[in-house]
Structure 1
């Protein structure tokens, strides 16, 4: 098989998020709030969906919820240019916290991105082939506070069906060295993006803890 034709989802993810982080951090943007375009952002988010699939049953709930909300943002990007415009429209329509609002969906998508960031960070910090600890910590830190007992119990049970790190890398067509590079790139870029989205919510006094 031609190695150039192999699907490398991790590389695609890290490149897309790196581009977005760079646009947020560009020197000419330092003075005022950066207008982040919705189309490239939602496309980058869509690249993360296969990762949830690779993690199996433990994160099935996250995959279904994440994919649905990313699809909404992708669809919305056809008619709304930036995250700011999208949020201002929901604020004007007084529907920010209503189920199905684009701003609420953005908050949920941000949590999905953050969960993957913490997962990668934990994988990079561990020498273990098991993903149970990294995945448990990522879930506990990002999702668990917002979930009821039934979902938390289902996730805990699903942790025993996680792939090993070696199996995950095989699914992603990465070796240990290349995976570490791409994961670290994503962690760095995603940290900038998550902080940026949090700031969008805080500056509009919307909070993020809901």
Structure 2
């Protein structure tokens, strides 16, 4: 993946999720699907920057976010979307908006845990932070073969410095302040 020219990817993600958090914290209305899917779309480049180990996550995540963006054209809020799937008895069916929302939430959780682990870990390697984040978020939902493939791919991860270069970020600034992906409580989704 080529370097993201001129964009401060992590800052854009943090700002978008801060805006969502402010919406959640100040409004009594449900969260709208469109701004949620736009914020989630900003996370997509992170998976691409992590290399082959997270290629499957990138493809799955992008497809699910695209589905939510498309749904936003006819469904205003996340709660309305979930209610519609409940009424249609399709919450657990592949391709349902609610199931896609769950997959997007896991992707966001993965990125949040990854950066928490990066902040808590010394050194330039992303192997331990990424392995811990994967084990916590995705591994419980994957079979043996996928877990083994991901484990093998962990050896191809970029270094912390390479990741920051790909994201066009300054390490001291990024890791001096936490990425604010956890400002929204998505546990109810």
**Structures share a fold, TM > 0.5?**
yes
- Deviation, 1:92, is 0.6
Q: Which sections of structure 1, spanning at least 5 residues, go unmatched?
A: 201-210
Q: For residues 181 and 13 of structure 1, what CA distance do their matches in structure 2 show?
A: 16
**Contact 1:129 1:166 survives alignment (8 Å):** yes
Deviations along 1:143-201, one digit per CA (max 9) or x if unpaired, are 0000011110110000000000000011111112221256x132442xx332xxx224x
Residue 106 (structure 2) aligns with: 111
By percentage of residues, which structure has more helix? 1
Does 2:114 match 1:122?
no
SS at match of 1:193: coil
- Deviation, 1:41, is 0.2
Q: In the TM superposition, what are the counterparts of 1:1-12 in structure 2 within 5 Å?
A: 6-12=6-12
Q: In the TM superposition, what are the counterparts of 1:1-210 in structure 2 within 5 Å?
A: 6-26=6-26, 29=28, 34-181=29-176, 184-189=178-183, 192-194=184-186, 198-200=187-189
TM-score, with structure 2 as normaliser: 0.94
Q: For residues 167 and 121 of structure 1, what CA distance do their matches in structure 2 show?
A: 18
- Deviation, 1:13, is 0.5
Q: Which sections of structure 2, spanning at least 5 residues, go unmatched?
A: none
The aligned length equals 185
**Contact 2:10 2:179 survives alignment (8 Å):** no
> Which structure has more RCO (C-alpha within 8 Å, separation ≥ 6)?
2
RMSD over aligned CA atoms reads 1.4
Q: For residues 130 and 48 of structure 2, what CA distance do their matches in structure 1 show?
A: 14
- Deviation above 3 Å: which 4+ runs of structure 1? none
- Deviation, 1:98, is 0.6
TM-score, with structure 1 as normaliser: 0.84
